[in-house]
Chains A and B, each alone.
Chain A
């Protein structure tokens, strides 16, 4: 073994609360591990569950979804729709043989920079404990053969 396992986490953040919480974590110099990389969406309701699956299939070991607290959505109630999709997505992941704990939904308001940093901290540790996802192996174990990657077209 060369280096200890460092999980790669993708975070989908809503523009109004949690992205600003991330900004606030920055301005107040809160520290959290560099394993997370954020993608800004306008709202957690914009999160297409496909994004999460693509992230996991593309090499992420975990996905953090963050939105405004229930009842505080900038778009009134769209975070509830994110919650619905999240719950379904976790069941889907279980059926695919992926630990549902690799995907987490966290509410963080624009004022909760400290909380967001702590949540990231905790999540990174939990995914570290789960180990690498290794998506292709997991999926082929479930019976479906991984399609051969298309042969490289050499120009």
Chain B
């Protein structure tokens, strides 16, 4: 007979649980069969997480003198906090509550009502046995460092950095390219308003560059992240620019004098050139150029130094070396953005093989007045204006051979391209689409406008882009072969130029970055948010937030919103000054420790210290992360882990084994006696 008084609460979750599990039966069974384990009350209720459900628990604690609470409902990752709070309001320590997942682990994954109900009973029995061994705990309080690290200087990162810096707190903004701006800086016009990207972005970039609270580290990458929420220590590699930032005025003479022309595959998307010493674009922030050592003649052959000779302030420094910078921050925002789908992966669309097939990013650069063609829409020869243009949607998106997901932005950017081609060349425009996705404010109005401009819309997936003419009128053209699903016929449309609206993909190194920061990636490699609806910018790792396209494809307004949202979450941490953490920690019972040191080598956080003088081991609770590997290893049972002690796990195990899969009779291992 347990000395604890336990309350069991079985949630219907509307019909989510009650539709499969006989919740009333589970509660009835718990109140009868688990009496000996201390259950004094068991109830089922429509929505335990509602305020009425929670009040039920609070009232029982007070009126029935409960000492432990078991809630059988959804996953603890969803509502553990809710029910701990309710337990606390009832007058108990919040950690005396245990959650049992009978929704994610029972009703949503099983269909047999009887077996599901039996499993739910077993899980409840496990929870009841376990909760007896719970201890009252106090959360661990950690101070929050006021500084924040923002990784990625695209529009999401810029927005996040500005919000925090404007509130008066220091920000380190790390960007791997020589300038901040990200993809948005490459665009010409932005949909649906067609305002120029540079006109709205560059003022923000300048604010970042000038902000007294922002330390801007471009041409830099995060190498290592140590610590935990409130107290991260970040190691940043500031790559050698070979330009002394103290002396450089950003006059640009070095760029002018540099004799080496290089195809710019990053900023100009391969459509234009830069020099070996360069700024990606004239409005770059910071204004200091970078020497690209792979292409610089001096670094290749030891001669030239034209930039150094002509630099009026003697700012070129070939001896500069990478700098390793250590910063301490309380929170981190990752806004690392996306990579464009490599259209070469779909050979039948001809990119890289047929000269006049362009990617969306190339076309963006072409439209840009500051781009390689000064905003002229021309064929690859640089002079001919196209008479007809095909725009192919969903390249690499919504395609089971490449990416299943919708890249969100391509419909709208394809419509924008259609408008720009019409406006600037008067060419015939054909848009090949699967579905037109123009959700969000003013987007569909833009679609209507493009429709009224006379663009042809053909619904169907493009099979092939080819230069092999078969019919009269096709000579010298690119032929787009496609099924027009509205008329149910194959069509061949000869055009001069093809634009592939390539989809968005996670950064190539997203997995590596996620590992560095201790967060997870989805199967596609997008960073995973804490909750897809209710917590889209937080991650499972406290103190690490995500914003913008690194979390999934999104357009500029959504990226800006997420940047601001992540900043708001960080500001809330900063203003709380300290944060409570789950008290899941290991500790050594000194009297039991034999000093064998088996545990000593197991901790990757260096939390285990051995006292030579006393021959005992101790665990530093500030460094311990609570994995419990040392607890499992200790041969003397001298290490215990709060919330996951041997007693708790074994008691839960005992409860889970009480009921066989099929029936409700207790099953115990009886030795077969002859």
In the complex with contacts A22-B104, A58-B657, A46-B109 CB distance below 8 A: no
In the complex with contacts A72-B515, A137-B672, A111-B108 CB distance below 8 A: no
Return the chain A residue nearest B521 by Cβ: A111
Task: List chain A residues, Cβ under 8 A from B629.
Answer: 43, 45-46, 75, 78, 81
Q: Is the CB of A31 within 8 A of B661?
A: no
Partner of A27, one of B108, B605, B644, B654: B108
What is the bound-complex CA distance between A19 and B328, given in angstroms? Answer: 32
Interface flags for B31-71 (1: CB within 8 Å of A; 0: not) read 00000000000000000000000000000000000000000
A10 within 8 A of B: yes
What is the bound-complex CA distance between A27 and B107, given in angstroms? Answer: 10
Q: Is the CB of B657 within 8 A of A42?
A: no
Return the chain A residue nearest B106 by Cβ: A34
In the complex with contacts A34-B116, A117-B109, A51-B650 CB distance below 8 A: yes
Number of interface residues of A (CB under 8 A): 62
What is the bound-complex CA distance between A55 and B652, given in angstroms? Answer: 10
Distance in Å: Cβ of B659 to nearest Cβ of chain A: 9
Q: Is the CB of B111 within 8 A of A31?
A: yes
Task: List chain A residues, Cβ under 8 A from B672.
Answer: 134, 136-137
What is the bound-complex CA distance between A140 and B341, given in angstroms? Answer: 62
Task: List chain B residues, Cβ under 8 A from A146.
Answer: 671
Distance in Å: Cβ of A41 to nearest Cβ of chain B: 6
Q: Is the CB of B657 within 8 A of A10?
A: yes
Distance in Å: Cβ of B482 to nearest Cβ of chain A: 33
In the complex with contacts A32-B109, A46-B631, A37-B671 CB distance below 8 A: no
A7, A27, A55, A149: residue with the most chain B Cβ atoms closer than 10 Å: A27
In the complex, chain B residues 656-674 whose Cβ is within 8 Å of any chain A Cβ:
656-657, 660-663, 667-672
Partner of A39, one of B108, B656, B660: B656
Q: Is the CB of A37 within 8 A of B122?
A: yes
Distance in Å: Cβ of B420 to nearest Cβ of chain A: 38
- Stretch from B243-251, B342-350, B620-628 that touches the partner: B620-628
Q: Is the CB of A34 within 8 A of B119?
A: yes
Q: Is the CB of B652 within 8 A of A39?
A: yes
A92 within 8 A of B: no
Interface flags for A29-41 (1: CB within 8 Å of B; 0: not) read 1111111011111
B75 within 8 A of A: yes
Task: List chain A residues, Cβ under 8 A from B515.
Answer: 71-72
Task: List chain A residues, Cβ under 8 A from B108.
Answer: 25-27, 29
Task: List chain B residues, Cβ under 8 A from A78.
Answer: 602, 604, 627, 629
Task: List chain A residues, Cβ under 8 A from B650.
Answer: 51, 54
Q: Is the CB of A59 within 8 A of B669?
A: yes
What is the bound-complex CA distance between A6 and B662, given in angstroms? Answer: 7
Q: Is the CB of A51 within 8 A of B627?
A: no
B118, B126, B662, B671: residue with the most chain A Cβ atoms closer than 10 Å: B671
In the complex, chain A residues 8-24 whose Cβ is within 8 Å of any chain B Cβ:
8, 10, 16-17, 19-20, 22-23
Task: List chain A residues, Cβ under 8 A from B631.
Answer: 46, 48
Task: List chain A residues, Cβ under 8 A from B115.
Answer: 34
Return the chain B residue nearest A82 by Cβ: B629
Task: List chain A residues, Cβ under 8 A from B520.
Answer: 16-17, 72, 109-111
A90 within 8 A of B: no
In the complex with contacts A23-B75, A37-B119, A45-B629, A7-B661 CB distance below 8 A: yes
A152 within 8 A of B: no
Q: Is the CB of B109 within 8 A of A43?
A: no
In the complex with contacts A8-B657, A37-B122, A26-B104 CB distance below 8 A: yes
What is the bound-complex CA distance between A31 and B108, given in angstroms? Answer: 8
In the complex with contacts A34-B110, A39-B649, A39-B652, A3-B662 CB distance below 8 A: yes
A99 within 8 A of B: no
What is the bound-complex CA distance between A136 and B670, given in angstroms? Answer: 7
Distance in Å: Cβ of A150 to nearest Cβ of chain B: 13
Task: List chain A residues, Cβ under 8 A from B596.
Answer: none
Return the chain A residue nearest B112 by Cβ: A34
In the complex, chain B residues 79-113 whose Cβ is within 8 Å of any chain A Cβ:
101, 103-106, 108-112
Task: List chain A residues, Cβ under 8 A from B657.
Answer: 8, 10, 55, 58-60
A77 within 8 A of B: yes
In the complex with contacts A39-B126, A77-B604, A112-B523, A10-B653 CB distance below 8 A: yes
A-B contact pairs, 27 of them (CB 8 A): A6-B660, A8-B667, A10-B657, A16-B540, A17-B520, A26-B75, A26-B105, A29-B109, A30-B109, A31-B111, A32-B109, A37-B656, A39-B653, A39-B656, A42-B584, A42-B641, A42-B644, A43-B627, A43-B629, A55-B657, A57-B669, A59-B660, A72-B520, A81-B602, A109-B523, A136-B670, A146-B671
Q: 5 closest pairs, A vs B, by CB?
A: A26-B104, A46-B628, A45-B629, A6-B661, A43-B627
Q: A27-B104, A34-B661, A85-B632 are in contact. List 18 more A-B contacts (CB 8 A).
A: A8-B661, A26-B103, A32-B110, A34-B106, A34-B115, A37-B126, A38-B101, A39-B649, A45-B628, A45-B632, A46-B632, A49-B632, A58-B657, A71-B515, A78-B627, A78-B629, A111-B520, A112-B523
Report which A residues bind B (CB closer than 8 A). 3, 6-8, 10, 16-17, 19-20, 22-23, 25-27, 29-35, 37-43, 45-51, 54-55, 57-60, 71-72, 74-78, 81, 85, 109-112, 117, 134-137, 140, 146, 149
Report which B residues bind A (CB closer than 8 A). 75-77, 101, 103-106, 108-112, 115-116, 118-119, 122-123, 126, 515, 518, 520-523, 528, 540, 584, 602, 604-605, 625-629, 631-633, 641, 644, 646, 649-650, 652-654, 656-657, 660-663, 667-672
